[in-house]
Each structure stands twice: as C-alpha cells, then as structure tokens.
C-alpha cells in the first residue's frame, strides 16, 4: 500500500528518481498557482472564441471557413500531445511547458493581428500546437510533485479553472466583441502567458542529468501525419465533404497506412515517441478507453446544450452558457472528494460510482429533451459533472500511479490524447446524427420542433456513449499497482 509523504508546510520539496537519474525541487503552493494560470490559458481560449465569431466574420469575412478556427486548433493540439509527452520524459517537464507557453503566446499575438480568415486559421494552428504541450504538462507536473493521496485535490483545483473559464470566457468574448474589438480575445493571453512563465521560473526547478538520446524523428513524423489525416477525415467528413467522397476515403486510407507504418517504426526505435507498451498494459488501456468516453460526452454536451436551449426555449446565450456551466461546477466538487473514495475503495469502484451518476444524468436529459425545461437541463448537467469528476481524475491518477517518473509523461499524454480523440470522433458522430434530423425535416434550424428533435437524438447518443464507457470502466483491474512515491533524500 502506498504511504504518502507529507512535507511540512512551506517546505521545499525535493525528490530523486533512481531509474532515470532525474531530480526536481518545487515550492508546491506557488507551482500549483502557476499550473492553474497555465491551464487557464487553454481553458479560457476554448470558451472565449465562440461568442466572438460573428464579429470576426463581419470584420474578416469567410463565413464558410470559420469552423476551421475550431477544427485546426483541435487537430494541432491532438496530434502534438503524444510527441510532447514523450519528450517530457526525456528532457524534463519544464522545457516542454515553456515551449508550449511560448507557442501559445506567439500564436495569440499573431491571431490578434490576423488580416484575413485564412491567416487567422493558420495562426490558430500555432496556438493549438502550444496547447498540446500546456495542458498535459500541467497535469503531469502536478502528478510529479503530489502524492497519490493528494492528487485528487490538485486535479480539482485544475478542474476548477475550467469551471471559472466556462463563465468568464463567453462573458469576456462578448464584452470584447461588443465594446472593444474581437482581437482582444487573443491579446488577453499575453499577460497570462508572461505571468505563468514568471511563476514557473520562480518556483519550479528541475535538475536533469543530460544523457545522449536518440530522438525518434521518424516515429514523430509518421504519428503526426497519420493522426492529422485520420482526425481531419473525422472532423470534416459529412461536413466539408461527403463520407464517401475521394477526399474522405483518401484521408482515411492514407492515415491508416501511415499509422501501420508508425507501429512498425516504433517496434524498431531505440526510444519510441509512443511506446507500444502503453497499449499492452490493461490498466493503461482501459483508462484510455474511459478517457475516450469522457471526451465524447463532453463534446456532445458542450456543443448542443447551448444551441438546444437558445433555439428551443429562446434563452439568451448567457443563460444557456450558465446552464452548461453547471457541468463544470459539479466536476471540481466531486473531483476534490474523489481522493477519499479511491484511497478507501479503490480506483475502479470510484470510477464506477462516477459513471452511475453520469448515466443517471444523461438518462434524465435524454428522457426530458422532448419537453425542454431549463432547470432540468441544468440539473442534469450538474449531475453529469459530479459523475465525471469521479471518473476523469481517478482514472488518470490510477494510470499515473502505476508508472515511474520517466514514463508518467507518456502515460498522461496518452490519456489526454484519448480524450481528444473521443471529442473528435464525438463531433463527427453527433454532428451526423443532428444533420440527419435536420435534413429529414427540411433543414430549418429556425423551427424549434426540428431543433428539439435533433438535440434529443444527440442526447440519446450521448447516453449510448455513457453505457459504452461503463463497459470500459468495468474492465479496469480491481487492484491497481501503485509505485511508492519518491522520498526525500
């Protein structure tokens, strides 16, 4: 059984990892604040843009191209996560998170000065490459400096950033667009990036023993290109082009072939960018599958709940956003308490309790969707958020706790990458379901009955995904092997 090491209040923490000959020191309070600020970069950016899209289109044009502002960001973030995760296990967390913040800062400045929609789309890709390092590194560093017993609360702090951002982001986007200029939704990232770097430089110190490493350039290239093609096919299939079009078939075939080539390359690589052992361990595989489900559930709710409330009930965007915010309010509340549960009853049982809440909330949402009521939607989202807080954090911490320092970056990155894949696939599936309903009814989004029918079908689909995620959770090992935390020398 793991015995947590609890340092004295204000004590500088140091740790050595014999296997990798790597040590780190950190003042944990300031570093956690730095990680929260860093996470806020990605969290606010994911919510602030939506309310500013009409202003951007009015200024730059390109209405038919604006969905790429979201797609290219998600694509760049998803494909870069595994590469950053592996590099962090080789050169350390600090250089990678600085690279991520730097790219995010540069991308934000370029977006603020964008002169056309294609230029803004290209600069959003730079932002996405930065986000691909920022979010997983923040979670990985928290996993490095906190014990298993403490990680639930730290993950809750990080999750609370998303809860605040779900309210602050849309509000700031509306204020900037209405009273200043939409360009400020990107410029606001500049002081946040500078603050995050300053806090990390001041508080977090890594001591890495530099050794010769063989960088897996071939594997990184094959992985990036193959996943880019596959995710592109999923994101744009049925929207930018038909599923059976040459573009769609070509993207999937080429992506699949390159992914096979990547597997063979990793078997021969001295230091593979994504070690195949990640998928050979039952705990890591099942927690990754759970993360896929979490990503799909999240994208289904965040994409369709606001539209459902605004078009079906005529609520304002702010009210619809607050109803959805109940999801991210429930998440950190339960995540903060999950540590008590998984230390007492285990990770698997905690995840299953969480999934029970998710299933209950999704069932109520789906059952009541034909007769929309604001209070029911908000309440269902809150219950689902409570459940996800008992699913996402414990499943991730279980994976982290089963590996040493020099494998934790890859494991964390794989888990978050799986969530991104779930979101990408979820976007395609739920979009196809909604589009089918719209097409059958003449495609009138101004008709509340049509919106209700389409949204109801999406919510039912979310319910199906929750049941599949329960199956993945049931296959998790009953007993999790936890590595002893590194002690102070």
State the average pLDDT over residues 206-224.
72
How does residue 303 score in pLDDT terms, banded at 50, 70 and 90? confident
pLDDT at 24 over 60: no
pLDDT band for 9, please (50, 70, 90 cuts): very low
Tens digit of each residue's pLDDT (9 = 90 or more) over 443-455: 555 677 887 888 8
CA–centroid distance for 280 within its chain: 23
User: Across 10-19, 73-82, 353-362, which has the greatest mean pLDDT?
Assistant: 353-362
CA proximity to 408, closest of 201, 152, 145, 175: 145
Highest CATH level, class, for 17-210: mainly alpha
pLDDT of residue 290: 93
- Assigned token pair, 131: 């986000």
Tokens of 463: 């319910």
Predicted pLDDT at 468: 93
pLDDT at 209: 61
pLDDT at site 62: 61
Q: What is the mean pLDDT of residues 104-126?
A: 90
Is residue 143 within 8 A of residue 407, CB to CB? The reply is: no
Please state, in angstroms and as integers, the Cα–Cα distance from residue 481 to each residue in 1, 18, 281, 477, following that order. Answer: 9, 19, 12, 10
Name the CA radius of gyration of the chain, rounded: 22
> Which pLDDT belongs to residue 397?
83
- Work out the widest C-alpha separation in the chain, in whole angstroms: 70
**Among 198, 189, 223, 262, residue whose Cα is nearest residue 87:** 223
Per-residue pLDDT of 149-176, as tens digits, reads 676 677 777 777 776 776 677 677 767 7
Tell me what the mean pLDDT of segment 14-32 comes to. 49
CATH topology identical between 17-210 and 276-489 = yes
**pLDDT digit string (tens) for 239-287?**
667 778 888 899 899 989 998 998 888 888 777 777 777 778 888 899 9
Query: Rounded distance, CA 361 to CA 375, Å?
Result: 13
Q: Which of 27-36, 232-241, 248-257, 383-392 has the lowest mean pLDDT?
A: 232-241
**Domain chopping of the chain, boundaries:** 17-210, 214-270, 276-489
| Class of domain 276-489 as given by CATH | mainly alpha
**460 pairs with which residues across the strands?**
none
Is the pLDDT assigned to residue 315 strictly greater than 80? no
23 in helix, strand or coil?
strand
- Asked whether 414 and 385 are in contact (CB, 8 A), the reply is no
How far apart, in whole angstroms, are the C-alpha atoms of residue 335 and residue 162? Answer: 13
**Cβ atoms < 10 Å from Cβ of 284:** 21
Which range scores top for mean pLDDT: 43-52, 125-134, 177-186, 294-303? 125-134
- The answer to whether the CB of 324 falls within 8 A of the CB of 377 is no
Residue 15 has pLDDT above 60, yes or no: no
- The mean pLDDT of 370-393, rounded to a whole number, is 89
Closest CA to 313 of 385, 381, 364, 376: 376
Output the six-digit token pair for 273. 């960018």
Q: What is the pLDDT of residue 126?
A: 92
Q: Is the pTM of this model over 0.85?
A: no
Q: Are 458 and 430 in contact, with CB atoms under 8 Å apart?
A: yes
**Helices (H), ranges, 49-92:** 53-60, 68-91
Q: What is the pLDDT of residue 482?
A: 53
- pLDDT score, position 470: 94
pLDDT digit string, tens, across residues 392-411: 888 888 888 887 766 777 78
Res. 54 pLDDT band, cuts 50 70 90: low
């Amino acid at each position: 059984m793991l015995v947590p090491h609890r340092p004295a209040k204000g004590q500088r923490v140091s740790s050595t990892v014999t296997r990798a000959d790597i040590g780190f020191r950190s003042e944990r309070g300031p570093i956690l604040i730095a990680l929260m600020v860093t996470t806020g970069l990605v969290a606010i950016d994911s919510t602030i843009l939506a309310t500013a899209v009409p202003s951007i289109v009015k200024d730059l044009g390109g209405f038919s191209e604006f969905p790429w502002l979201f797609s290219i960001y998600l694509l760049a973030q998803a494909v870069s996560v595994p590469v950053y995760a592996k590099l962090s296990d080789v050169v350390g967390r600090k250089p990678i998170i600085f690279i991520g913040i730097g790219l995010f800062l540069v991308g934000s400045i370029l977006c603020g000065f964008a002169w056309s929609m294609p230029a803004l789309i290209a600069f959003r890709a730079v932002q996405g490459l930065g986000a691909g390092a920022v979010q997983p590194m923040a979670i990985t560093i928290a996993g490095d400096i906190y014990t298993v017993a403490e990680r639930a609360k730290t993950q809750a702090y990080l999750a609370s950033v998303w809860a605040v951002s779900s309210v602050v982001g849309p509000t700031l986007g509306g204020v900037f667009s209405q009273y200043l200029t939409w360009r400020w939704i990107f410029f606001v990232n500049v002081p946040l990036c500078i603050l995050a770097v300053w806090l990390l430089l001041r508080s977090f110190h890594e001591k890495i023993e530099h050794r010769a490493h063989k960088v897996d350039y071939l594997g990184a290239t094959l992985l990036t290109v193959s996943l880019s093609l596959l995710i592109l096919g999923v994101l744009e299939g049925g929207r930018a082009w038909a599923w059976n079009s040459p573009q769609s078939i070509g993207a999937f075939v080429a992506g699949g072939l390159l992914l096979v080539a990547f597997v063979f390359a990793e078997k021969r690589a001295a230091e593979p960018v994504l070690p195949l052992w990640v998928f050979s361990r039952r705990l890591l595989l099942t927690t990754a599958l759970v993360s896929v489900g979490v990503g799909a559930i999240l994208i289904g709710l965040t994409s369709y709940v606001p539209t459902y409330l605004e078009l079906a009930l005529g609520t304002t965007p702010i009210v619809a956003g607050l109803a959805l915010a109940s999801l991210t309010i429930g998440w950190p509340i339960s995540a903060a308490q999950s540590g008590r549960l998984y230390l007492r009853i285990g990770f698997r049982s905690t995840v299953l309790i969480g999934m029970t809440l998710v299933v209950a909330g999704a069932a109520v949402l789906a059952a009541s969707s034909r007769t929309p009521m604001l209070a029911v939607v908000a309440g269902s989202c809150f219950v689902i958020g409570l459940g996800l807080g008992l699913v996402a954090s414990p499943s991730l911490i279980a994976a982290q706790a089963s590996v040493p320092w020099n494998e934790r970056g890859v494991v964390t990155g794989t888990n978050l990458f799986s969530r991104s894949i779930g979101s990408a696939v979820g976007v395609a599936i739920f979009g196809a379901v909604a589009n089918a309903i719209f097409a059958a009814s003449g495609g009138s989004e101004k008709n509340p009955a049509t919106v209700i029918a389409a949204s109801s079908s999406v919510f039912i689909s979310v319910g199906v995904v929750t049941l599949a995620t329960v199956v993945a959770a049931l296959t998790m090992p009953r007993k999790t092997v936890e590595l002893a935390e590194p002690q102070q020398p």
